[in-house]
Structures are given as C-alpha cells and as structure tokens.
Structure 1
C-alpha cells in the first residue's frame, strides 16, 4: 500500500490573496463546487485529473522562519522570462543561483514570504545537452 499526495497546504495570513497569486503562477483553477472567496478560511486550486493541488488556510500568525518544504517550478517559457513574469505578479527576488553556462535556478518569495525556486524549462535543459 502507498499514499498519494492530495495537496500541498500553505498557512497564510490572507489565504485568498495568496491563492490568487499562485493561480496566476501555475494556471491551476478552483473547484467550481467550492468557489474561493476572501470570506473562506480555506481556498484551493488544482490542475484537476487527480493531481495534487494547493490549499491555502488562513492562520493568525505570519511566517517567521525559512520554509522546510518549498516548490520548484519549471516554466513553459524560459527560466529568465518566467522570473520576470513572477516578479511582475508580486514575487520578490530572494537568491539568484543562475550560472554563466545557463544552468542554475532563482529563488523567489511569494507575497507572504514563502520561498520557491524557478528552474530551467525542459526545452532549456534539452538544449544544454545538445
């Protein structure tokens, strides 16, 4: 027997707002049977098809230490284009680990300070192997 990951849960000061940010990052959608709203304590988005989603739960305290778990995302565009798009959406640059050879990643913070990494796209990885 095994267990599957149903969702990744974020504690948030404003779960609805954070959900809206991550909806733009991932393209995930809300469950039409349980629409998200600022009045809800829990807001969910997911890709559908039984794949894990993201759940945002309102909590009274803010984030105080580095995440023990974070998301690594791989864009459809280039890593650098995605970093620029996410910065425009409200992310903050935290650490830049890009290398001159094109490898590496960028660590960003979401609007509530949760770390996440932007890796190279699959196309960029394939081109580097050629």
Structure 2
C-alpha cells in the first residue's frame, strides 16, 4: 500500500528504495526471478507502475517502478 502525501513533490528523490524479495544471497536466480515477477503485480494493484526490466544477460536482475507520486524504486 502506498501512502499519499497532501503536499506535492518539491524536489528529486533523496533516497532510492530497493524491495528485495529473495532475501540475502546467494540465490537460485530462477526462483529469485519468480519472486520478483510475483511481487510486481501486487505493487501495480497498489498503484505503482512498471518503468523497465533490467536484465543481466538472460537473467532478470530487477524491475524499475514508480510509486503513484512518481518516485522511483526497484524490485530485486
């Protein structure tokens, strides 16, 4: 869930949030990608939008998203 702020955004983000869905490594990369793909629709339903998918070769690295106010964060 995203909390909405009554005041408009006045400056560029000072902090970048990464949502780590796979916990600490080392990871099974296929399972990590599955967890990322599972979390993204939940965040979209809560009001976020997908900006891009970042790949490390043929492995999903992370998904860049914006919250409803346009702040960038990543699901990794």
Work out whether the TM-score is over 0.5. yes
User: Which fold has the larger relative contact order, with Cα–Cα distance below 8 Å and residues 6 or more apart in sequence?
Assistant: 2
Runs ≥4 residues deviating over 2 A: 58-65, 98-103
What whole-Å deviation, never above 9, does each CA across 1:98-130 have from its counterpart, x for those lacking one?
3563231111111111110000xxxxxxxxxxx
Tell me what 1:71 maps to: 17
RMSD: 2.7
Q: What residue ranges of structure 2 are gaps of 5+ in the alignment?
A: 23-33
After superposition, where does 1:38-53 map in structure 2 within 5 Å? Answer: none
> Is the 2:53–2:60 contact (alpha carbons within 8 Å) kept by the matching residues of 1?
no
TM-score by length of 2: 0.63
Q: What residue ranges of structure 1 are gaps of 5+ in the alignment?
A: 1-19, 23-55, 120-130
Cα distance in 2 for partners of 1:59, 1:78 equals: 33
Q: Secondary structure at the match of 2:43?
A: helix
Tell me what 1:10 maps to: none
Aligned residues: 65
